[in-house]
A = this chain, B = another copy of it.
Amino acid sequence: MDEFRHPLELLVRNLQLRSRLSAEDREAILGLPYTLRTLEAGSYTMREADAPEVCAVMVSGFAFRHKMAGDGARQIVALHIPGDALDFQNLCLDISDHSMQMLTRGEVALIPRNEINKLSALRPAVARAILTKILVEASIFREWVLNVGRRDAKTRVAHLLCELAVRLEAEGLADEYSYQLPMTQEQLADAVGLTPVHVNRTLKVLERDGFLTRTKRSISFPNWQQMRNVGDFNQRYLHLEPQVSG
């Protein structure tokens, strides 16, 4: 079942999580011109103040979006998994307000920005699917604000882990709420606005209390219901329930 797969297949599947696309729409997306590129962990796909020219789509691997505070502190503001388009957020903006880095080694399909605009103009359903995806990303930002602003360390870390589990599951990249977490505790800390030391202690507590199991970089939840609870996690903000119309 691991036959050849079109690199943009995952993007199509991702968009279809929330939008209906006709066969022609799907074909049109798969027909977009792209360049496939393999990137090392840590490499940048975009830097703050850059002018984005292509739209990268994650084919394999993980990436994160981040901003720096004046004192050098880093805040990760989003995580991206295969099927995500990394640059929908810049579609109409000429200067990037943040940076994007690979979390792991992975492949990325680079699509010229104007090709996406052309396609959107031609196919309203595609335009709408992209807009929907953009709005869901915004929803995730809002939840991220809440997470970082109003939840204590334990809840905060648990919430992030829950979000990743559900997103990976929706994409078909994890099952039974167990997945590879390719983040160091320092990156985790930058995502939740804590220090690495405190993230470490928090993970230990979650583990001690039986909410999660870690082995190397793999993570799993013995009791998903309980984990959701600890993480104050309600997936409504991911808008995965089928959307009907507009």
Q: Which residues of A contact B (CB under 8 A)?
A: 19, 48-49, 65, 67, 69-71, 73-75, 77-78, 89-95, 97-98, 113-114, 117, 121, 124, 127-128, 131-132, 134-139, 141-146, 148-151, 155, 192-193, 232, 236-237, 239, 241, 243-246
Contacts and interface: CB of A to CB of B under 8 A. Distances in A.
A142 B48 CA distance: 13
Given A97-B143, A146-B67, A92 B131 contact: yes
A109 to B, nearest CB: 20
A150 B93 contact: no
Contact of A150 (B74, B97, B142, B232): B74
A142 B93 contact: no
Closest 4 CB pairs of A and B: A149-B193, A141-B141, A70-B232, A148-B149
* Most chain B CB neighbours (cut-off 10 Å) among A65, A77, A121, A243: A77
Contacts of A71: 232
A79 to B, nearest CB: 12
Contacts of A65: 142
Given A49-B236, A143-B67, A237-B97, A193 B148 contact: yes
Contacts of A149: 75, 148-149, 192-193
* Most chain B CB neighbours (cut-off 10 Å) among A70, A97, A131: A97
Contacts of A94: 243-246
